[in-house]
Every structure is written in structure tokens, then in C-alpha cells.
Amino acid sequence: MKYVRISSNCGLKVSVLSLGTWHLPRLPEKDDVGAYKIDVDEFKKVLKKAFDAGINFIDTANKYHGGISPVPLSHAGYAERLLGKLIKELNLPREELVIATKVGAQMSSGPNGSGLSRKHIVWQVKESLSRLQLEYVDIYYAHVFDPETPKLETLRTFNDLVRRGLTLHLGLSNIPPHHLVDYLRISEIEGLEPVVVLQYKYNLMERDAEKDVIPIAREFKLGITAYSPLAQGFLTGKYVDIQSRKWVIPELSRAAYMTQMSKRYFTDENLKFMIDFVEYAKSMNVTPTQLALAWLLKMSEIHNVPIIPIIGVSKINHLEEALAATEINLKDNDLKYLNEISLKISVSPQ
Ligand SMILES: NC(=O)c1ccc[n+]([C@@H]2O[C@H](COP(=O)([O-])OP(=O)(O)OC[C@H]3O[C@@H](n4cnc5c(N)ncnc54)[C@H](OP(=O)(O)O)[C@@H]3O)[C@@H](O)[C@H]2O)c1
């Protein structure tokens, strides 16, 4: 495994792949609200294998459940709870792990049940630490933008969390770019604990981050954790039947239960892209998954910004496939071809 400093203004080193927990390995059975039951044994194997392979960086959020999205209030927090329990059961050494979690999503129905207010953050950081069975997290992110809380209130609260040793570093996720710059400038002007990392969606099919987030990260010397690096599994090639040139939805795959995904990705334009992409991967003797991840890893070098893909894994072999991607070094002609096919397509934001 290779490691990288998460940003050039911070000493924290993380593996070049991070393990995500938004969707976890699932059993075919659902519970009474329609959430898939989590395959705890498989997730435990994934966690152990990831750690043994050198992945030290784990991404979660207070809201995540692992088997349903959007997450009902009754299910919020399950991913953190399970992660905390399995870290203990596997005896993983805390000091070798870099654990990131997030705040902002709705956690209760009251008026202060979501957002980035001091009231909500101070409550939720304690809840996350208790669910994770940890004394501190390594990175605490604002998960979403909160237009109703003054930015300085959030930043001062975050600063206090670092002072109190509850988190070591700070991050921002999904904040619209012009507000993002405001947060970063205010933090600098006020001399508060700096934000070191941004978390945004970035993959070969969804390259909006290149327009604003990546230039902002470079200017402020921040790293980026890239979520949905496989476009939620799309870039694995499993949704296309090359022979019949048609879309297919495998049973139990994410698209089979996240219907909003179908509308966004399953277009004629994307079908042509996917066929070209899968065939190109085949010509290189790698899998589409590996090509998509190798491309993202290469973008780090091209944009001169640490870019760390957060992989989602629902089976142990997904992890094995992803690990091999770190050994692939794409050449100029590969990048040229992938640009040619990917810059023609567009995926609607939600
Ligand atoms: N900040 C945010 O708002 C935000 C938003 C989204 C995600 N995230 C973070 O980013 C992480 C990754 O996001 P993501 O899960 O969307 O990532 P992704 O890597 O784009 O998608 C992962 C999914 O693709 C499928 N897959 C992966 N490898 C495969 C393989 N080799 N063969 C076939 N299918 C494969 C699996 O889904 P199925 O097997 O179920 O089809 C897997 O759950 C999350 O866990 C979370 O930690 C953050």
C-alpha cells in the first residue's frame, strides 16, 4: 500500500485508498422498514482484509446505516456502531487507524436535529464517539451545507472540538463552491484550526469537481477524498451487457434498490460510453473497476492535489479488485482516450 499526506499543510498520512461505509455488505433479507440486513461477517472480513492490506483510512458518517438510503431516523448511526464494534472485536490498533466521520444530516426530528449549529455539532460529536467507541476521531467533516447557521459559528465550534481533543483534523463535504471558499477564507482570517480535506463526488463519469473543487483544493493546499469513485458501481461495467448492447440490473446490486440511480445513469449516451470503457479496460487486461480507480489515482498527480478514492465494498472480492488498481500506472495515451470518451457525457447531479 502507498501512503500520502492528506494535504500539504498537514502531517497526517493516509493510504491512497480509503474504505467507505455508506453501503455495507448486505444479506438478501430486509427488515420491517425495508432496510437490507447487514452481512456483519462479510463486513468484518472486509475490514480485516483492508487493514491487513494497509488501508488505514476509514470513512463513515453519523447518519449512515449501510443497507438503506435515504436513512430513516430509526436506522441512523448503525454504520458507526457496527464499525466501532468490529474495530474492537478485530483488535485493530487505534493509533494506526485514521477514522473520519461527519455531521450535518438529520439525526432527530427536533428543530436542532440537523445542520451545522454549535448545538447540533456538540451533541453529535459525543454521539458519534460513543457509537464508534472512540475517544477521538481523526477527521470530522461538515457533511452538508447549512444555510441557516453562520459560517463562523460552525468554524469556531469545529475549532473547539480540536482544542478539546475530540477530533484531530477538520474537513468539509458537499458545500457549494462559493460557500466553500467563504469557509476557508474565514477560517484563515480568524486563525482557526485549518480545514485539511474536502470530500466531494468525483469519478470518470462525474467530473464537476475539476471545475471548482480541485482548483480550490490546490489554492488552499487541501486534499480531496473522492466519493462514489465507481459512480456507485456503474464503472464496474456490471450494468451493461456488451453482447446485446443493453443495460442490465443484476439482482441485489445497488441500482436494484436505489431507483433514483437508474434515472441518472441509464441513458443512451452513457451506454455508448460504458461499452467503449469496458472494451478499453479489456484491451489493457484490467477490469473496468481497476481502470476507473487507476484513473482517479492518476488525477491526483495530474492536478497536483492529493485525491484519495473512498471505495464502497459490498463483497470481499470488490476490495481485492480495488487493491490491485493501486499498481496500475496509466500512460498519456490512456488518459487521452479516457478524456475523449468521458468528457462527452453528462450525468444529472441527483
Ligand atoms: N460525503 C458524502 O456525501 C458521501 C456520499 C456518498 C458516499 N460517501 C462515502 O464514499 C464511499 C464510497 O461511495 P460509494 O459506495 O458510492 O462508492 P463506489 O465505489 O462508487 O460504489 C460502491 C458500490 O459499487 C459496487 N461495487 C464496488 N466494487 C465492485 C466490483 N468490483 N464489482 C461489482 N460491483 C462493485 C458495490 O455495490 P453493489 O454490490 O451494492 O451493487 C459497492 O457498494 C461511501 O461508503 C461513503 O463512505 C460520501
Answer yes or no: is pLDDT of 103 > 70: yes
Does residue 23 line the site of ligand 1, with CB under 6 A?
Answer: yes
- Any atom of ligand 1 within 6 Å of the Cβ of 233: yes
| Centroid of ligand 1 to alpha carbon of 347 (angstroms) | 17
Q: Are strands 36-38 and 26-30 parallel, antiparallel or unpaired?
A: antiparallel
Q: Say yes or no to pLDDT of 350 above 70.
A: no
pLDDT score for 46: 98
What is the best residue among 146, 249, 311 to mutate for testing ligand 1's pocket, by most ligand atoms within 8 Å of CB?
311
**Amino acid identity at 150:** P
Looking from the CA of residue 253, the nearest atom of ligand 1 is 41
Residue nearest ligand 1's atom 30 by CA: 318
Using CB atoms within 10 Å of the CB of residue 181, give its burial: 0 to 12 exposed, 13 to 18 middle, 19+ buried: middle
- Of the residues 22, 69, 234, which should be mutated to test ligand 1's pocket, given the most ligand atoms within 8 Å of the CB? 22
**What is the CA(107)–ligand 1 centre distance, in A?**
22
- Max Cα–Cα distance, the chain, nearest Å: 59
Instruction: Among 62, 236, 239, 265, name the best residue to mutate to test ligand 1's pocket (greatest count of ligand atoms within 8 A of Cβ).
Output: 236
Ligand 1 centre distance from Cα of residue 171 (Å): 20
The per-residue pLDDT for range 41-61, each reduced to its tens digit, is: 999 999 999 999 999 999 999
For 122-168, write each residue's pLDDT tens digit: 999 999 999 999 999 999 999 999 999 999 999 999 999 999 999 99
- Tens digit of pLDDT for each residue in 297-334? 999 999 999 999 999 999 999 999 999 999 999 999 99
- C-alpha torsion sign, points 325, 328, 332, 338: negative
Which ligand 1 atom lies nearest to the CA of residue 318? 31
- What is the residue-averaged pLDDT of the chain? 96
Q: Which atom of ligand 1 is nearest to the CA of 230?
A: 20
Distance, CA 148 to ligand 1 centroid (Å)? 30
Closest residue by Cα to atom 9, ligand 1, is 227
Q: Which atom of ligand 1 is nearest to the CA of 317?
A: 31
Mean pLDDT of 110-130: 98
Q: What is the pTM of this model?
A: 0.97
Index of the ligand 1 atom closest to the CA of residue 61: 47
Among 68, 227, 239, residue to substitute to test ligand 1 (most atoms within 8 Å of Cβ): 227
Decide: 321 in ligand 1 pocket, CB within 6 A: yes
The pLDDT value recorded for residue 2 is 96
Query: Rounded to whole angstroms, how far apart are CA atoms 175 and 99?
Result: 21
Q: In which region does residue 233 sit, left (phi positive, over 0), alpha (psi from -120 to 50) or beta (all else)?
A: left
Res 263: pLDDT: 75
CA distance 230 to 237: 10
- Spatial contact of 67 and 38, defined as CB atoms under 8 Å apart: yes
What value does the mean pLDDT take over residues 204-232? 97
Closest protein CA for atom 11 of ligand 1: 20
pLDDT of 260 > 80? The answer is: no
Residue 207, pLDDT > 80, answer: yes
Q: Is the pLDDT of residue 253 over 80?
A: yes
Q: pLDDT at residue 344 above 90?
A: no
**Range 71-90 average pLDDT:** 97
| pLDDT tens digits along 220-241 | 999 999 999 999 999 999 999 9
Instruction: Using pLDDT thresholds of 50, 70 and 90, give the confidence band for residue 206.
Output: very high
pLDDT band with cut points at 50, 70 and 90 for residue 348:
confident
Asked if residue 232 has its Cβ within 6 Å of ligand 1, the reply is: yes
Q: What is the pLDDT of residue 299?
A: 98
DSSP H helices, 35-96, are: 40-52, 78-89
Predicted confidence (pLDDT) at residue 349 exceeds the cutoff of 90: no
Over range 288-295, report the average pLDDT: 98
Q: Which domains does the chain have, with CATH numbers?
A: 3-233+287-329 (3.20.20.100)
Q: Is any atom of ligand 1 closer than 6 Å to the C-beta of 25?
A: no
Question: What is residue 257's predicted lDDT score, i.e. its pLDDT?
Answer: 85
Residue 114 has pLDDT above 80, yes or no: yes
- Closest-CA residue, ligand 1 atom 15, reads 312
158's enclosing H/E stretch is helix 151-163
Residue owning the nearest CA to atom 8 of ligand 1: 227
